[in-house]
Amino acid sequence: MPVVHQSTIKRARQAEARNRRNRAVLSTVKTAVRKVVNAVEGKKVEEARACLREATAILHKAATKGVLKRNTASRKVSRLAATVNSLKASGT
């Protein structure tokens, strides 16, 4: 039977806690992005702009926490902003 050190048990416990925390943050990010995409598909300009502001804050917060890399968050924000802006341009 292998020897299991206390440090190994603690590391596994910490990894599990981090995994739960990161998954919760990623779930929030995906929900926010989905709200923006749904608003754009429904051609709701004002709702899309409001959801974009919320999604931008959530994405940057996830990057600050280290769940997403900074460039990934920036890329997602940029693409969402471009789709919202194209919707606004085609609406007027």
Instruction: Give all domains of the chain, ordered by start, each with its CATH number.
Output: 6-91 (1.20.58.110)
Q: pTM of the prediction?
A: 0.85
Contacts of 54 (CB under 8 A, 6+ apart): 32, 35
Indicate the average pLDDT of the chain. 94
Cα–Cα distance for residue pair 40/37, rounded to 1 Å: 5
pLDDT over threshold 80, residue 92: no
Confidence of residue 4 (pLDDT cuts 50, 70, 90): confident
pLDDT at 91 over 90: no
Instruction: Tell me the pLDDT band of 63, cut-offs 50, 70 and 90.
Output: very high
Reading the block at residue 72, the tokens are 């990934």
Looking at residue 66, its pLDDT comes to 94
Query: By C-alpha distance, which of 75, 54, 51, 74 is closest to 64?
Result: 74
The two tokens of residue 73 are: 């968050």
For 26-81, the DSSP string reads HHHHHHHHHHHHHHHHTT-HHHHHHHHHHHHHHHHHHHHHTSS-HHHHHHHHHHHH
Please provide the size of the chain in residues. Answer: 92
Q: What would the pLDDT profile of 7-52 be if each residue is shown by its tens digit?
A: 999 999 999 999 999 999 999 999 999 999 999 999 999 999 999 9
